[in-house]
Amino acid sequence: MPRIAYFGPQGTFTEQAAIGFVHPGRDELVPYETVPQALAAVRRSEVDAACVPVENSVEGAVPATMDALAEGEPLVAVAETVLPVRFSVLVRPGTGVGAVRTVASHPHALAQVRYWLEENLPEASVVSTTSTAAAAVAVQRGEFDAAVSAPVAVNHYPLSEFATDVADVADAKTRFLYLRRPGTLPEPTGSDRTSMVVTTADRVGALSELLVELALRGISLTRIESRPTKGRLGEYRFYIDMLGHVAEPRVGDALAALHRHCRQVRFLGSYPQAEPTVSGEPVAASNEDFTAAADWVAAVRRGVGA
Amino acid sequence: MPRIAYFGPQGTFTEQAAIGFVHPGRDELVPYETVPQALAAVRRSEVDAACVPVENSVEGAVPATMDALAEGEPLVAVAETVLPVRFSVLVRPGTGVGAVRTVASHPHALAQVRYWLEENLPEASVVSTTSTAAAAVAVQRGEFDAAVSAPVAVNHYPLSEFATDVADVADAKTRFLYLRRPGTLPEPTGSDRTSMVVTTADRVGALSELLVELALRGISLTRIESRPTKGRLGEYRFYIDMLGHVAEPRVGDALAALHRHCRQVRFLGSYPQAEPTVSGEPVAASNEDFTAAADWVAAVRRGVGA
C-alpha cells in the first residue's frame, strides 16, 4: 500500500492538500511533525511521496520547505495543488453565538481572520495554539469554545461547523508540492511549471546572466526568491519557478546553459500547473523553432547547408 | 519629544532593535499591534519614525512589512540594524530546573529553540502564545513556568534569566528598518544599501532587462524577492536590495534606467549597511568613470570632443 507523508498534524490544510494527491482507500497518509521530517521519510524510502506547503499568498514562501529541498538527497516534484485559504470555525455541537467566549487557532490563522472575528464574535477572546488542528482538539476537550481550522478538521473531530468559508483576504491561497525520489517525470501537458534552485558565484551580474538565458528562450518566470547560503558569505541561492517542462527543447536548452553558468543547479521537478497561467507566445522558441535550428546547424556542419 | 513607533508589544526583538535607533531618555518608544499600524502612524505624522522587521535568516521575508511599504504614502528607510536571534529563557525568581514543567512562547520562537529544549528541559511541555512578550507576562502571572523571550523582556517583567543566548541555529539573524516620511537622505558612507520595489510589465524578459541595467553599472544585488500584485493576474512586484547609495552616479543612473523600463519604481531608501559586505570592484562604474563619461559626451555635443 503506497504511503504518503505530509506535514501534519491531521486536520490541517496540508492534510487537505495531500488528500487531493492520493487514491482514497488505497494510499495511507502519514503525518510528520515538520517539513524536513516529512521529506527525510521520502529520502529514507519510509514513504513513497510527501506533500508539503511551498508558498502562501499572504505569508510568502515557506523557507523550511525551500531549504530542505535545496540540501540532502534530491527530491523531485511531480504535481502541485493550490488551496484557497478559507477556514471553518468549529464548535462543540449545540454551541450558540452567545456561548463563544474564547476562539483558538495558530497565530497565522488568527491573523487571517482578524476582521471576521471582530465583526462576528467581537466579545470572544483569542487564544493561540501550535496548529489549527491543536485548536480543534482543545475545543473538543472543552478548553476553548471555538477553533479556527482547516475545513478538513471537521472530519476528524466530533465538532460542528459554526461558520465556513471564513477569510479576511478573499483570494488568499497556499501552494503545495507532491514530491518523490527522482524517477520517471510526468509527461508534458502544454501547461507545466519547472522548479529549480540555483547557486551563483558571488559576482556582479551573475543573476542577470542567468535570467537573460531564460529570456532569450522565451521562458516566463513565475517566482524568484534569494536566500543567502549558510556558511558562505556573499553566496546566494535562488529559488526559481518558470513556465514550461524540461522535456521541451527551450527549457532543456536553458537548464543546460544554467548548468554551464552556475556553481550548482538542482532540478526540483516539471509538473502540470494547478492553475494554468496564460503566457505570451515565446518568440522563436517553439519546439519547431528549436528543431529547425538544430537541423540547420547539423546541415551546415555536414557541408549541405549554409 | 520625538516619538518612535515599533511593532510591539513591549519586550520583543523589535523593541530591542528600536532601542538601538533612539536617543535614550529623549525619544519615546510607542508599540503598535501590527506592522501596517506602525507604518500608518508615521504616515499620519502621529510619530516621527518606525522600526519594523524586514527579513529573518530562518523565517525569510516579512511579507506584512514589504506589502505595507509597497502601498500607501511612500516611506523611506534611513537606517537598518541586524540582531542575532538569541533568546533568553525567563522564569519567576527562585525557579529551579526541576520546577520548569511548562515552557511558553510564540510558535516561531519555539521552533528556533526546539533542540535546546529537548536537551535542557526534556520533561517540560511546550505551550504557544501570541508573542514572546505575552509568554513572559503569562509566566509572571504564574500560568506557565518559563518563557522563551527576547533578551530585552527581562527589563520589563520581574523575572530571572534561567538561560541566555539560547538558539538552535547559531547564526540566525533578523534585519530591521528604521523608516521616516521622505526627507533629507542619510549621507553616503561608502558602505550603503539601497532598497526599492519595482513593478514590471507581464512580459518575458522584463526582470532580466532590469537586472542587466544594474549589472552593467557594477551594482551587486543583496536580495530579490517576487510577490504577485493583488488584483492584476501575471503582474509581479520585485523587492530588491542592492549595494550603493542613490547619491552615487552608478546607482542614480541605474534607478533612472529602471524608471524608464518599469511600470512603477518606488525608492525605499539608501542607508548605511549594518554589517558591511565586501563587494567586488565595479568595472568602469566608479564615480570618476561616470564623471569622465558624462564630460566626454558633453564635449562631443559641444563639438569640442570626439
With helix as H, strand as E and coil as C, how does A10-52 read? Answer: CCCHHHHHHHHHCCCCCCEEEEECCHHHHHHHHHCCCCCEEEE
Q: Determine which of A73-82, A133-142, A223-232, B119-128 has the lowest per-residue pLDDT on average.
A: A223-232
Q: Determine which of A91-105, A149-163, B102-116 has the lowest per-residue pLDDT on average.
A: B102-116
Cα separation of B40 and B135, whole Å?
A: 27
First to last CA, chain A: 58
Q: Flag whether residue A182 sits within 8 Å of chain B, measured between CB atoms.
A: no
Cα separation of A234 and B239, whole Å?
A: 18
pLDDT in tens, B1-28: 899 999 988 888 999 999 999 988 899 9
Least CB–CB distance from B234: residue in A60, A277, A283: A277
| A235 pLDDT above the threshold of 80 | no
The average pLDDT across A7-17 equals 90
In CATH terms, the fold of domain B1-84+173-183 is D-Maltodextrin-Binding Protein; domain 2 (3.40.190)
Residue A239 forms beta bridges with which residues?
Answer: A197, A225
| B280 pLDDT above the threshold of 70 | no
Contacts of A207 in chain B (CB under 8 A): 211, 221, 224
Q: Flag whether residue A130 sits within 8 Å of chain B, measured between CB atoms.
A: yes
Cα separation of B173 and B59, whole Å?
A: 10
Question: Is A87-163 CATH 3.40.190.10?
Answer: yes
* Domain A186-306 superfamily per CATH: ACT domain (3.30.70.260)
Cα separation of A66 and A227, whole Å?
A: 9
Cis peptide upstream of residue A151 (ω within 30 degrees of 0): no
Residue in B254, B106, B248, B203 with CA at minimum distance from that of residue A205: B254
Q: B221 and B242 in contact (C-beta within 8 Å)?
A: yes
Q: Flag whether residue A214 sits within 8 Å of chain B, measured between CB atoms.
A: yes
Cα separation of B269 and B194, whole Å?
A: 6
The average pLDDT across A156-185 equals 92
Mean pLDDT of chain B: 88
Q: B32 and B41 in contact (C-beta within 8 Å)?
A: yes
Cα separation of B206 and B261, whole Å?
A: 8
Q: A257 and A219 in contact (C-beta within 8 Å)?
A: no
* Of B301 and A75, the one with more pLDDT: A75
Residue in B200, B298, B179 with CA at minimum distance from that of residue B258: B200
CA–CA–CA angle B53, B54, B59 (5° rounding): 90
| Res A110: pLDDT | 85
The average pLDDT across A50-65 equals 83
The DSSP result for B150-186, as a single string, is: -GGGGGTSS-EEEEEEE-SSTT-EEEEEEEESS-SPP
Interface-testing mutation among A204, A243, A277, with chain B (most B C-beta atoms within 10 A): A204
Q: A81 and A15 in contact (C-beta within 8 Å)?
A: no
| Res B102: pLDDT | 92
- Other Cβ atoms less than 10 A from the Cβ of A83: the count is 21
Q: Flag whether residue A247 sits within 8 Å of chain B, measured between CB atoms.
A: no
* Domain B185-306 superfamily per CATH: ACT domain (3.30.70.260)
The percent of residues above 90 in pLDDT, for chain A, comes to 50
Q: Which residue has the cell 564623471?
A: B291
Instruction: Please report the sign of the dihedral spanned by the C-alpha atoms of residue B118, residue B123, residue B126, residue B132.
Output: negative
Contacts of A126 in chain B (CB under 8 A): 130
The average pLDDT across A228-240 equals 73
A212/chain B closest Cα distance in angstroms: 5
Domain locations along chain B: 1-84+173-183, 87-166, 185-306
Same fold for the pair A1-85+169-184 and A87-163: yes
Mean pLDDT of chain A: 88
Q: B4 and B27 in contact (C-beta within 8 Å)?
A: yes
Pairing of strands B49-56, B3-7: parallel
| A92 pLDDT above the threshold of 80 | yes
| B155 pLDDT above the threshold of 60 | yes
Question: Is A1-85+169-184 CATH 1.10.1240.10?
Answer: no
Query: Inter-chain contact B204–A282, Cβ cutoff 8 Å?
Result: yes
Cis peptide upstream of residue B9 (ω within 30 degrees of 0): yes
Query: Inter-chain contact B277–A233, Cβ cutoff 8 Å?
Result: yes
The average pLDDT across B240-265 equals 89
| A282 pLDDT above the threshold of 60 | no
| B249 pLDDT above the threshold of 60 | yes
Q: Flag whether residue B223 sits within 8 Å of chain A, measured between CB atoms.
A: yes
Residue of chain A with shortest Cα separation from B218: A204
Read off the pLDDT band of A262 (50, 70, 90): confident
| Res B288: pLDDT | 82
Interface-testing mutation among B67, B117, B208, B235, with chain A (most A C-beta atoms within 10 A): B208
- What are A294's three cell numbers? 538544430
Pairing of strands B102-105, B125-128: parallel
Least CB–CB distance from B203: residue in A203, A205, A280: A280
User: In this structure, what is the dihedral angle of CA atoms B163, B164, B165, B166, given to the nearest 10 degrees?
Assistant: 40
Report which secondary-structure segment, H or E, holds B15: helix B13-21
The percent of residues above 70 in pLDDT, for chain B, comes to 95
The average pLDDT across B223-233 equals 74
Top-tier CATH class for B87-166: alpha beta
Q: Flag whether residue A170 sits within 8 Å of chain B, measured between CB atoms.
A: no
Read off the pLDDT band of B90 (50, 70, 90): very high
pLDDT in tens, B168-199: 887 888 999 999 999 999 999 999 999 999 99
| Res A278: pLDDT | 60
| Res B230: pLDDT | 66
Query: Inter-chain contact A224–B226, Cβ cutoff 8 Å?
Result: yes
- What are B166's three cell numbers? 539560547
Q: Flag whether residue B297 sits within 8 Å of chain A, measured between CB atoms.
A: no
Alpha helices per DSSP H over A147-286: 206-215, 249-261
Contacts of B12 in chain A (CB under 8 A): none
User: What letter would DSSP give residue B282?
Assistant: P
Read off the pLDDT band of A32 (50, 70, 90): very high
| B153 pLDDT above the threshold of 90 | yes
